[in-house]
A and B are shown apart, each in its own frame.
Chain A
Amino acid sequence: MPDKTINGVSISVDDDGFMTDHSQWNKELAAALAEEEGISLSDGHWKVIDYILADYAEKGTVPGMRRINKVGGIPTKELYALFPGGPIKKAAKVSGLPKPTSCV
Chain B
Amino acid sequence: MSEEPIKKVSIIVSRGSLEGIYPGLIMANGARMEGIEANLFFTFFGLYGVLTKYMNSIKIATVGNPAMRVPDAKGFPLPTWMGSMPGMSAFATHMMNKEMEKIDIPPVGEFIEMISDAGCNIYACKATVDMFHLTDDDFCPQMDRVLTVGEFYELSAGSQIIFT
User: With A66-B104, A80-B119 in contact, do A88 and B114 touch (Cβ < 8 Å)?
Assistant: no
Does the CB pair B104–A86 fall under 8 Å? Answer: no
With A and B bound together, what is the CA distance between A69 and B26 in angstroms? 16
With A and B bound together, what is the CA distance between A64 and B34 in angstroms? 13
In which size bucket is the chain B interface? 10 to 19
Residues on the A chain within 8 Å of B106, using CB: 66, 104
Instruction: From the candidates B33, B35, B119, name the one contacting A65 in the complex (CB within 8 A).
Output: B33
Residues on the A chain within 8 Å of B104, using CB: 64, 66-67, 102, 104
Does the CB pair B35–A76 fall under 8 Å? Answer: no
Does the CB pair A80–B34 fall under 8 Å? Answer: no
- Check if B151 is an interface residue, CB within 8 A of chain A: no
- Check if B131 is an interface residue, CB within 8 A of chain A: no
With A and B bound together, what is the CA distance between A40 and B33 in angstroms? 20
- Check if B138 is an interface residue, CB within 8 A of chain A: no
Residues on the B chain within 8 Å of A89, using CB: 33-35
Does the CB pair A86–B117 fall under 8 Å? Answer: no
The 3 closest A-B pairs by CB, nearest first: A85-B35, A76-B117, A86-B35
